[in-house]
Amino acid sequence: MTATPPVSYSRRRLLQAALLAPTLGALAGLPGCSLPEQVDGTFLQPWLDHQNWTAADWQRSMKLAQRAGCRQLVVQWSGILGGPEGDWQLSDASFAMLFNAADHAGINVRVGLPFEQRWWQAIGGDETQLRSFFTDSLERARSWLAASGLTRQRRFAGWYLPYELEQYHWAEPARLQLLVGWLRDLQQAAIARGGDCAISTYFSRLQTEGSLVGLWQQVLDGTTLRPMVQDGIGVAGQDNHLALAPLLALFKQRGVAFDAIVELFRELPTAGGDGTQFHGESADFARVQQQLEWARASGAGNVLVYALEPWLTQDTPQAQALRRAWRL
């Protein structure tokens, strides 16, 4: 991706190299005598190379998710606008194969809108840049939704906004008000096509006067978005659960349904140490079990993982160990 964001900006960027590592075939020969760890769903972060996936590739991917107990898949985005490879989107043929494989596996699919790379510049810029991005991206999202026929797919299960919310960039009331208005308009455009709308959130380690609870109080007042809470353990470590406790308390107090996202990777140190590069490896199973215990006790309606691919499918010693322990 062009202009890589600092690591604290997003829990799930820059996984392209790992995601596209070959390996689903390695799963086929593993014994299936024991019940694997069960989760409700997983994410899939598409890249341009997914356009080359065949029906068999999609079927292997969905069978893996099925074996893990998944009843839902979140496609993080349908494409990327303004990236280094130019604008691209998953083709109708790719979506048809994905939905067909998901249907055979009994998995419902939540579809992410196209992600606009300019998001990173907009949230780091001034109010004029932010307003411009919100206006332009809303117009493009409305056009894409109007042309989309995905709601007619048998396993379509709603929309996902591929812009993760954290407290660092929205400490100023005026910026937060702009954000909420944009999210409300995006949600309304999506719901008009059928299905509900969800968005992810995480706790940023960057110092700020903003709070995640304050942000979500405003978002919940202005929208009916379904929150999906990233545990953040892959980057911030096990104590990040403590930072999320006030947000979960808010959701409980207001009776807001939400989902929890468990990260299956751990970030590795980089040479620069400035957060502009990302290197990760699959987490060990003991840590993942602790994360799953937290997620199941959090009050979440669904526990999803980020993500079976690549962190359980690539041919690294860490992924192989996690896969064996998971019994997949």
Report pLDDT digits (tens) over 300-326. 999 999 999 999 999 999 999 999 999
User: What CA–CA distance (Å, rounded) separates 195 from 109?
Assistant: 11
pLDDT for the residue numbered 232: 96
What pLDDT, on a 0 to 100 scale, did the predictor assign at position 299? Answer: 98
Helices (H), 206-254: 212-222, 233-236, 240-254
**What is the structure's pLDDT at 60?**
97
* pLDDT tens profile 84-124: 999 999 999 999 999 999 999 999 999 999 999 999 999 99
According to the model, what pLDDT value does residue 271 have? 59
Helix (H) / strand (E) element for 305: namely strand 302-306
Question: What is the spatial distance between Cα 113 and Cα 194, in angstroms, rounded to a whole number?
Answer: 14
pLDDT of residue 36: 84
- CA 241 and chain centroid, separation: 18
Q: What is the CA radius of gyration of the chain?
A: 19
Give the residue ranges of the chain where pLDDT is below 70: 1-35, 270-277
What is the pTM assigned to this prediction? 0.90
Q: What is the pLDDT of residue 21?
A: 43
pLDDT for res 320: 97
